[in-house]
């Protein structure tokens, strides 16, 4: 997950990160609830991947 406060300046870096598998990105400022929701999504996705691999 990437977090940045620079919209235009990081557009190419975000595009490259998405190509190598970054889950998502957020621009600052953001709500803490949004951040915790994304972290929970990542946790659930990893758990599902682990269970599927068993």
Check if the beta carbon of residue 42 is closer than 8 Å to that of residue 26. no
Residue of 48, 49, 4 lying closest to 27 (CA atoms): 4
What is the tens place of the pLDDT at every residue in 1-54? 889 999 888 889 998 998 998 989 999 999 999 999 999 999 999 999 999 998
Instruction: Report domain extents, the chain.
Output: 2-53
What whole-number distance in Å separates Cα of residue 37 and Cα of residue 26? Answer: 12
Q: Residue 7: what pLDDT?
A: 85
Phi, psi of 6 (to 5 degrees): -110, 105
């Amino acid at each position: 997950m990437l977090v940045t406060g620079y919209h235009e300046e990081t557009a190419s870096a975000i595009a490259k990160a998405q190509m190598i598998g970054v889950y998502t990105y957020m621009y600052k400022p953001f709500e803490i609830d949004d951040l915790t929701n994304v972290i929970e999504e990542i946790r659930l996705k990893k758990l599902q991947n682990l269970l599927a691999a068993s």
